[in-house]
Structure 1
Amino acid sequence: MRLLFEMDKKDYEYCTHRFVRNSARSIIIRDGKIAMIHSLKYDYYKFPGGGIENGENPVEAMIRETREEAGLVVKPETVKEYGYVHRIQRSDMDSSECFVQDNYYYLCKAEPEAVRQNLDAYEAQETYTLEYVTPLMAIQKNRSVGASPYNPMMFEREARVLELLMSEGYF
């Protein structure tokens, strides 16, 4: 899979250990808009997807997470690799820990009708909502996020992937 870009803060020189948490995300485009999860609580957008569990491959994780977060049932035969973003930085939680994450993105199609979401407690608290939006709307929203418990690199990562998709003619 191709490397889309790297996000390296180079702020981990004093870290003594690493925490690796890879994720897989879906890119579902319909009628010129993209399926995104909108956190109503913190007002940002993210691609449907999330962490890869032990024993799961990235495609399996993307399909599972997309169904859980968005209620979208991915058609497995439509899945195509898009690329990944490599992120590395000192952990926000532990200054001796280096956080490393590869975020794998897959182009795919989903069944026309959504099913019921199966949200984790924090996702329900944030009121994760599936929305089809223009890429520009999501980019603008993510670059103006106010206070949130998340590292701003997450919002910028999603904005940059959307910009790549636009520059490559997906919209």
Structure 2
Amino acid sequence: MQILKTHYHPDVKTLENKSVFTRLATRSIAIKGANILLLYTERYEDYSLPGGGLDKDEDYVNGMIRELVEETGSKDITDIKPFGAYEEYRPWHKPDYDIQHMISYCYTCTVNQELGASKMESYEIKNGMSAKWVNIFDAIKHNEKTMATSAKKGMSIERETFLLKRIAAQLI
């Protein structure tokens, strides 16, 4: 899959003499007209694509479907196609490694606009995550405002905003 961008978090100055672990993840791109299925996270005041980490030896498409269903309750997932990958290096705040190297594999898909019940993990519920259909241009503006003005922003907002802009340019 084509790498769309490689991003280094500002706190990652070098990889030399650093312990790095790689985490593979998937992201889902479901669009209806100019609306896209996103997760809103109250804690970070941002919109993000549904997705998350792959389990050990999990097939990428199966992992994408699993995450999409868990986080949004999506049904009737069809027409899955690769879109591109986003690679990032970011600080890791646990003692076992210095840096996380995350590769997010993004796939377009078609889903039923009506969502079922999600099965979010406890930290996702605690962070106030909820799935919703949003106008992609409104989501981009919202994320840009959060990046410019909020002290609450998380480390994923730059990735998510880059991807939303790329999706809008290529698919809308």
Alignment TM class, shorter chain as reference: 0.7 to 0.9
User: Which residue does 2:3 correspond to in 1?
Assistant: 3
TM-score normalised by L of structure 1: 0.87
Tell me, yes or no, if the aligned pair for 1:63 and 1:74 is still in contact at 8 Å: no
TM-score normalised by L of structure 2: 0.87
Q: How many residues align?
A: 167
Cα distance 1:5–1:68, how it changes in 2: closer, same or farther (>3 A)?
Answer: same
How much has 1:144 moved relative to structure 2?
Answer: 2.9
Aligned-CA RMSD value: 2.1
User: Which residue does 1:162 correspond to in 2?
Assistant: 164
Q: Write out per-residue CA displacement over residues 25-60 of structure 1, whole angstroms, 9 at most, x where no aligned residue.
A: 100001321110011233211101111011212111
Q: Which amino acid aligns with 2:133?
A: Y
**Structure 1: which 5+ residue stretches go unaligned?**
none
Tell me, yes or no, if the aligned pair for 2:27 and 2:104 is still in contact at 8 Å: yes
Tell me, yes or no, if the aligned pair for 2:27 and 2:52 is still in contact at 8 Å: yes
* Segment drifting more, 11-20 vs 32-41: 11-20
After TM superposition, the runs of 4+ consecutive aligned structure 1 residues lying more than 3 A away are: 12-16, 92-96
Distance in 2 separating the partners of 1:79 and 1:96: 34
Sequence identity of aligned pairs in percent? 25
* Segment drifting more, 89-98 vs 65-74: 89-98
User: Which residue does 1:97 correspond to in 2?
Assistant: 98
Q: Which amino acid aligns with 2:152?
A: S
Distance in 2 separating the partners of 1:90 and 1:128: 23
Distance in 2 separating the partners of 1:99 and 1:67: 26
* Segment drifting more, 93-102 vs 35-44: 93-102
Distance in 1 separating the partners of 2:163 and 2:69: 21
Q: What is the SS of the residue equivalent to 2:14?
A: coil
User: Which residue does 2:23 correspond to in 1?
Assistant: 21
How much has 1:71 moved relative to structure 2?
Answer: 1.0
User: Which residue does 2:151 correspond to in 1?
Assistant: 147
Equivalence map 1:1-171=2 (5 Å): 1-9=1-9, 10-13=12-15, 15-73=17-75, 75-76=77-78, 78-93=79-94, 97-145=98-146, 146-148=150-152, 150-151=154-155, 154-168=156-170, 170-171=171-172
